[in-house]
Amino acid sequence: MTSPSLFDDPPVVLVVDDEVRSQDAMRRTLDEDYTVLTASSAEQARELLQRQAVRVILCDQRMPGLSGVKFLKEVREHWPDVVRIVISGYTDSEDIIAGINEAGIYQYILKPWSPDGLLESVRNAVEAQVLQQQTARLDLELRTSTPVLRQRTASQMAQARAHFGFERIVRAPGSPLESLCAMAARAARYDIPVMLLGESGTGKELLARAIHYASPRLNGPFVLENCAALADSLLESELFGHKRGAFTGAFEDHIGLFQRAHGGTVFLDEIGETTAAFQVKLLRVLQEGEVRPVGAARPVPVDVRVVAATHRKLEQRVQEGLFREDLYYRLCGVTLTVPPLRERAADIAPIARHILRDVATELGHPGAELSDETLACLLAYPWPGNVRELRNEVLRALALHDGRELTPAAFSARVRQGLPAAADSARAAALPASGTLAERLDVIEAMVLRETLLRHRWNKTRAATELGLSRVGLRAKMQRFGLDKP
């Protein structure tokens, strides 16, 4: 796939819109400064992207067939260097916000757009793209340069630390994350592999980066690979690289994952999803400390620290024969489990406020705050998607609502429904003040059952699992305490 050189001049912008009038309006606005290509459908856009290096893609959200966000997700997978902007009407905002993370959208522009606004967005996007390329290029140069050149300046490192260090991981005092971060920081100092377990969206990637920047390898690269996305057919080439001409379609040398991460840390995300073929190859690199790019005459030594993560119960996968036991032990030098957000409710408010501070100005709501009622909602909701879901909810609330204070109305219905549970958990904090021990324990037991059922939206299977009860056992207790879905 072609990637734009740093010097394609003027930069190429691709407009994807099924309405010819909108295409023309954008072309007129951008024509003077950019080479504008247009496509009326995702198919046409795909063809253009295959033939032509593009810097920025401006895509309408509403197109027949594939939505803009879905198409941009595909663009992200195949042409990750192209900066993606989606253009939409107000009513589409929800879909877009849901897709912001997945499609890696740089910006979304609301209709009706102004020529000046559009020009500025495209100018910023091109700048971001050039910077991204320069950084990637510099990284590569630094990795192949002498150790002296490789030293980043103290201020660069301080910046990187502030951006990716443990201080970026927001947590309440006394939260389980405190001790987890302390353990991770200790592990970071030694060159041992770290396995991060925990549900999706709990912050494993954040932790992996923090480990890298707290390690002696901080001057080296941090390279992330989503193992779930690797096809077996491309494995060798992705992991080890290939030489030009090694196979049909190998038009130039490709540097593999381990060489790119040389001297630094490789973060293998979703390691639990890997196939047997991947596991064998990975084990070999870890054992031998060298890789042989496809078509290369001799192996190349690689020096990487591996941090891996999965939302799966990896031990169980080993027992089921789905994950190699020898690889499991190699990767689990230190195993850290990030608890789900619902098990560290004290973190919810500080994280939500942090996200607000981070993006409120950018989204046009400087100084936005959460009302007390909203906080109660957020605390009562079980956050199955963890911090990622919390982030999306806050972004959504900011984008869709005006006013300084975000009320529960700004949040999605499922979060709002947490409100009664909030009142209940507050009540649950009040212990019974009289009665025999058995009577008081009964009251507490009923409260715990009720609070757990509320949090799981009265799903008895999930509540029973959390409480270590059988479903029948839970039903019996519900009957005994007169608990039923309101």
Ligand X SMILES: Nc1ncnc2c1ncn2[C@@H]1O[C@H](COP(=O)(O)OP(=O)(O)OP(=O)(O)O)[C@@H](O)[C@H]1O
Closer residue to ligand X, CB minimum distance, 99 or 203:
203
CA distances from 105 to 68, 101, 168, 325 (A): 10, 7, 22, 39
Is 169 a residue that touches ligand X (CB under 6 A)?
A: yes
Is 286 a residue that touches ligand X (CB under 6 A)?
A: no
From 29-37, 81-89, 197-205, 364-372, span contacting ligand X (CB under 6 A) = 197-205
Residue 393 CB, nearest approach to ligand X (Å): 12
From 37-45, 387-395, 424-432, 462-470, span contacting ligand X (CB under 6 A) = 387-395
Bridge partners, residue 12, by sequence: 35
User: 311 φ, ψ to 5°?
Assistant: -90, -5
Is 351 a residue that touches ligand X (CB under 6 A)?
A: yes
Binding to ligand X, residues 262-281 (CB under 6 A): 269
Q: Supply the angle between the helices 419-428 and 437-455 in degrees, to the nearest 10.
A: 160
Is 29 a residue that touches ligand X (CB under 6 A)?
A: no
Cβ partners under 8 Å of residue 386, min gap 6: 199, 200, 201, 202, 203, 340, 341
Determine the Cα–Cα distance for residues 122 and 129; give it in Å rounded to an integer.
10
Determine the Cα–Cα distance for residues 103 and 17; give it in Å rounded to an integer.
18
Q: Give me the amino acid identity at 144.
A: T
Is 150 a residue that touches ligand X (CB under 6 A)?
A: no
Determine the Cα–Cα distance for residues 336 and 202; give it in Å rounded to an integer.
12
Cβ partners under 8 Å of residue 323, min gap 6: 272, 274, 279, 314, 317
Quote the DSSP letter at residue 246: S
Determine the Cα–Cα distance for residues 482 and 458; give it in Å rounded to an integer.
14
Is 387 a residue that touches ligand X (CB under 6 A)?
A: yes
Among 99, 193, 203, 256, binds ligand X (CB under 6 A): 203
CB 7 within 8 A of CB 134: no
Is 171 a residue that touches ligand X (CB under 6 A)?
A: yes
From 48-56, 184-192, 383-391, 419-427, span contacting ligand X (CB under 6 A) = 383-391
From 9-17, 36-44, 167-175, 422-430, span contacting ligand X (CB under 6 A) = 167-175
Residue 98 CB, nearest approach to ligand X (Å): 14
Among 55, 262, 391, 450, binds ligand X (CB under 6 A): 391
Is 66 a residue that touches ligand X (CB under 6 A)?
A: no
Q: Give me the amino acid identity at 399.
A: A
Is 123 a residue that touches ligand X (CB under 6 A)?
A: no
Determine the Cα–Cα distance for residues 482 and 476; give it in Å rounded to an integer.
10
Residue 451 CB, nearest approach to ligand X (Å): 24
Is 205 a residue that touches ligand X (CB under 6 A)?
A: yes
Is 344 a residue that touches ligand X (CB under 6 A)?
A: no
Closer residue to ligand X, CB minimum distance, 202 or 425:
202
CB 47 within 8 A of CB 62: no
Binding to ligand X, residues 291-320 (CB under 6 A): 311
- Residues binding ligand X: number (CB under 6 A): 18
Is 396 a residue that touches ligand X (CB under 6 A)?
A: no
Contacting residues toward ligand X, per CB under 6 A: 169-171, 198, 200-206, 269, 311, 351, 354, 387-388, 391
